[in-house]
């Protein structure tokens, strides 16, 4: 690990020489450390890793893992994306694989049928380079045009005539955002220090704590995480991280026995993103952190209270001070603990406290909301749509689980729905349609546990199933709230392993 980070820390000096020694055989030098193709695109660290890995797999490039990491660091710094250019598509880097993408029809149908649309939206190129990319697709997969799903149109003609000009306009190599970012890009030395963090892991609950960041060589860091889940389970460990392009934070932390990855945007004294298990990226938490030195309210945990009840609420942030104020009808009974990172209070919501979402204040600090509810109007299963995958059974691919929570919604005095938050529920699955019922998907596709974790079945053909098919299934996920018995419904597809699992889906 030490040598790995050492190599990356010297990327700025070593990058140009590596490009010259490793890439020049096939990419033409254009002077000024520029090379054909390579110097005319911008992308994320993951994007650069995928391009270079493809050079190895498809074109026989010979490069050590260390040199490849150095080049990824060099290129991601020199030809990366500005923060505003990754806004809204970070889910792909964060490996939120259940995301249902929202792109226009053309991009979805022409480019989003083999991989995510985000893979496209996370790149910047001039028209010529988008054109090369289209040609590379057809050259590499000549059958693309008449493969399933592509037979419906003249793909190449449409791609060159319509998609390329559109992409060149939407995702150009040069723009103001990137020019500004290169000028103002913050230095890595703004990051060492104490970071108070808040998060939520589906089926496990809220988590909070402090991450201590220590400077290492170049843009690399050592990390120490000390925290706990709301139920008291520790969330602590140590690791390392690297900063690409002034804000793309990538960390590796061993929490207990589990290796976890961090994919954050580190901007303006905050880190935001997702932290997930390396081997099971479906197990992850939404993460936000604020640096000591500033004052910021990150979260209130839990962010809901029922009218007429008492509860313990925890405010999480940095530089916390002052009196907590939860608005009319929610009284502070007692402050149980107050540190700069955390304020724990016992509160009481009166029976007539107005239902709805209200701002919480701590002294001068604002920015987080508390939902007060009386009645529950609706329950949603989160995620509403998801994919689990069979695995194991002698194969090397682990099962991909489904993880669900029940999100309660109320109706405000204005008749508008408002989010209450996650509440405890009983979980079950049912066949999604007639076909699923006939094929007994509920019996074969896997088991829904009491905590909302769905564990899919084993990989491979199942002799007990009709036609010896595998343990795929099409299921409804049913949540029944413990409080009030409201029911919500989600959709879960259980399917085969993902054989090809690139960093950007
Ligand atoms: C053995 C030849 C060879 C070597 C060595 C090689 N490349 Fe390539 N590279 C290609 C070819 C051929 C293409 C065009 C087809 C494609 O995109 O795969 C290409 C395309 C690319 C592209 C454009 C991909 C795109 O999506 O448009 C990038 C970026 C790239 N190479 C980076 C590199 C880097 C960085 C190195 C050195 C570490 C390198 N290549 C070394 C043959 C090579
Ligand atoms: C037939 C399936 C298919 C379709 C359709 C498709 N792609 Fe791809 N695309 C691939 C595959 C496979 C790769 C290579 C993945 C790898 O390197 O592991 C790829 C790679 C890419 C990359 C990464 C290249 C790099 O090295 O940086 C981009 C960007 C991309 N595609 C954009 C597009 C765009 C834009 C379209 C629509 C015009 C499109 N794709 C349509 C299969 C497809």
Q: How far is the CA of 245 from the centre of ligand 1 (A)?
A: 22
- pLDDT tens track for 143-169: 766 665 566 788 899 999 999 999 999
Task: Average the pLDDT over 4-24 and give the result.
Answer: 86
Q: Give me the residue spans of the domains in the chain.
A: 2-181, 188-291, 306-373, 378-495
Q: Give yes or no for a contact between 376 and 424, defined as CB atoms under 8 angstroms apart.
A: no
Torsion, Cα of 483, 486, 488, 494 (10° steps): 60
Q: Is the CB of 58 under 6 A from ligand 1?
A: yes
Per-residue tokens: 458:
């084993």
Average model confidence (pLDDT) across the chain: 94
For the ranges 5-9, 105-109, 356-360, 425-429, which has the lowest average pLDDT?
5-9
Give the pLDDT of residue 396: 86
Question: Given the CA of residue 61, which atom of ligand 1 is nearest to it?
Answer: 5
Q: Give yes or no for a contact between 315 and 321, defined as CB atoms under 8 angstroms apart.
A: no
Task: Average the pLDDT over 124-131 and give the result.
Answer: 98
pTM, 2 dp: 0.95
Question: Given the CA of residue 54, which atom of ligand 1 is nearest to it?
Answer: 18
Per-residue tokens: 221:
């860091």
> Left (φ > 0), alpha (ψ -120 to 50) or beta: where does 56 sit?
alpha
Q: How far is the CA of 84 from the centre of ligand 1 (A)?
A: 27
Q: How far is the CA of 22 from the centre of ligand 1 (A)?
A: 10
Task: Average the pLDDT over 39-44 and give the result.
Answer: 98
Give dist(CA 318, CA 325) in Å, integer: 17
Give the pLDDT of residue 328: 95
Give dist(CA 468, CA 125) in Å, integer: 48
Is it the case that residue 436 has pLDDT exceeding 60? yes
Q: How far is the CA of 52 from the centre of ligand 1 (A)?
A: 7
Q: Enumerate the β-bridge partners of residue 429.
A: 477
- pLDDT tens track for 179-204: 999 999 999 999 999 999 999 999 99
Is it the case that residue 412 has pLDDT exceeding 80? yes
Task: Average the pLDDT over 259-278 and give the result.
Answer: 97
- Given ligand 2 and candidates 108, 115, 140, 146, which is best to mutate, with the most ligand atoms within 8 Å of its CB? 115
3 state DSSP class of 236: coil
Question: Given the CA of residue 67, which atom of ligand 1 is nearest to it?
Answer: 38
Q: How far is the CA of 138 from the centre of ligand 2 (A)?
A: 10
Torsion, Cα of 46, 49, 55, 60 (10° steps): -140
Question: Given the CA of residue 144, which atom of ligand 2 is nearest to it?
Answer: 1
> pLDDT class for 339, splitting at 50, 70, 90?
very high
Task: Average the pLDDT over 341-346 and give the result.
Answer: 98
Q: Is the CB of 54 under 6 A from ligand 1?
A: yes
Q: How far is the CA of 55 from the centre of ligand 1 (A)?
A: 5
Give the pLDDT of residue 2: 46
- CATH number of the domain at 188-291, please? 2.40.128.120
Give dist(CA 18, CA 401) in Å, integer: 41
How far is CA 125 from each of CA 33, 49, 130, 168, rounded to the nearest angstrom? 18, 17, 6, 7
**Pairing of the two strands 405-411 and 417-423:** antiparallel
Give the pLDDT of residue 10: 83
Q: Is the CB of 453 under 6 A from ligand 1?
A: no
Give dist(CA 438, CA 398) in Å, integer: 28
Residue nearest to atom 27 of ligand 2 (CA): 51
Q: Which ligand is nearest to the CA of 18?
A: 1
Q: Of the segments 72-76, 136-140, 410-414, which one has the largest average pLDDT value?
A: 72-76
Which CATH number, 3.90.1140.10, 2.60.40.10, 3.20.20.70, 3.30.160.620, labels domain 306-373? 2.60.40.10
CATH fold for domain 378-495: Immunoglobulin-like (2.60.40)
Q: Enumerate the β-bridge partners of residue 430.
A: 476
Is it the case that residue 5 has pLDDT exceeding 70? no
Q: Which ligand is nearest to the CA of 141?
A: 2
Task: Average the pLDDT over 484-504 and give the result.
Answer: 92
Give dist(CA 237, CA 327) in Å, integer: 37
What secondary structure letter does DSSP report for 397? P
> pLDDT class for 496, splitting at 50, 70, 90?
very high
Give the pLDDT of residue 405: 97
Domains 188-291 and 378-495 share a fold: no
Ligand 2 neighbours by CB, cut-off 6 Å: 47, 50-51, 54, 110-111, 113-115, 119-120, 123, 133-134, 137, 141, 144, 147, 159, 163, 502
Is it the case that residue 3 has pLDDT exceeding 60? no
Task: Average the pLDDT over 13-27 and give the result.
Answer: 94
Q: Which residue has the higher pLDDT, 153 or 124?
A: 124
């Amino acid at each position: 690990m030490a040598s790995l980070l050492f190599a990356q820390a010297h990327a700025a000096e070593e990058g140009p020489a590596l490009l010259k020694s490793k890439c020049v055989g096939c990419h033409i030098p254009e002077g000024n450390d520029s090379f054909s193709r390579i110097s005319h695109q911008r992308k994320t660290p993951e994007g650069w890793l995928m391009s270079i890995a493809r050079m190895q797999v498809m074109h026989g490039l010979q490069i050590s893992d260390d040199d490849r990491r150095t080049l990824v660091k060099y290129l991601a710094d020199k030809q990366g994306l500005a923060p505003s250019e990754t806004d809204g598509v970070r889910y792909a880097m964060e490996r939120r694989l259940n995301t249902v993408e929202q792109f226009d029809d053309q991009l979805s149908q022409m480019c989003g049928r083999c991989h995510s649309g985000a893979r496209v939206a996370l790149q910047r190129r001039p028209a010529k380079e988008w054109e090369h990319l289209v040609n590379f697709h057809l050259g590499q997969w000549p059958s693309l045009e008449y493969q399933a799903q592509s037979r419906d149109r003249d793909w190449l003609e449409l791609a060159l005539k319509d998609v390329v000009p559109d992409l060149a306009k939407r995702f150009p190599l040069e723009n103001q955002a990137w020019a500004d970012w290169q000028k103002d890009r913050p230095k890595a030395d703004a990051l060492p220090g104490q970071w108070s963090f808040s998060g939520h892991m589906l089926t496990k609950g809220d988590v909070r704590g402090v991450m201590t960041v220590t400077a290492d060589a170049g843009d690399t860091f050592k990390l120490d995480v000390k925290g706990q889940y709301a139920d008291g389970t520790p969330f602590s460990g140590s690791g390392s991280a690297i900063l690409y392009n002034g804000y793309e934070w990538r960390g590796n932390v061993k929490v207990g026995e589990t290796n976890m990855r961090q994919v954050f945007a580190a901007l303006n004294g905050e880190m935001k993103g997702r932290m997930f298990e390396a081997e099971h990226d479906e197990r992850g938490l939404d993460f936000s952190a604020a640096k000591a030195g500033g004052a910021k309210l990150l979260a209130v945990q839990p962010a809901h209270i029922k009218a007429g009840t008492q509860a313990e609420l925890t405010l999480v942030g940095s530089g916390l001070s002052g009196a907590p104020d939860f608005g009319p009808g929610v009284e502070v009974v007692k402050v149980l603990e107050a540190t700069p990172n955390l304020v724990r209070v016992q509160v009481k919501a009166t029976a007539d406290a107005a239902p709805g979402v209200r701002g919480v204040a701590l002294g001068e600090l604002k920015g987080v909301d508390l939902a007060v509810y009386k009645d529950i109007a609706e329950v949603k299963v989160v995620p509403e749509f998801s994919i689990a995958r069979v695995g194991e059974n002698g194969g090397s691919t682990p099962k991909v689980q489904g993880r669900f929570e029940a999100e309660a919604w109320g109706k405000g005095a204005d008749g508008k729905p408002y989010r209450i938050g996650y509440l405890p529920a009983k979980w079950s699955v049912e066949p999604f349609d007639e076909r699923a019922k006939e094929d007994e998907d509920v019996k074969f596709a896997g088991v829904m546990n009491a905590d909302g974790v769905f564990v899919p079945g084993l990989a491979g053909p199942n002799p007990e199933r009709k036609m010896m098919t595998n343990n795929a299934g099409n299921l409804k996920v049913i949540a029944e709230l413990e409080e009030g018995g409201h029911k919500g419904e989600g959709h879960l597809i259980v399917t085969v392993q993902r054989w090809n699992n690139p960093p950007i889906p």
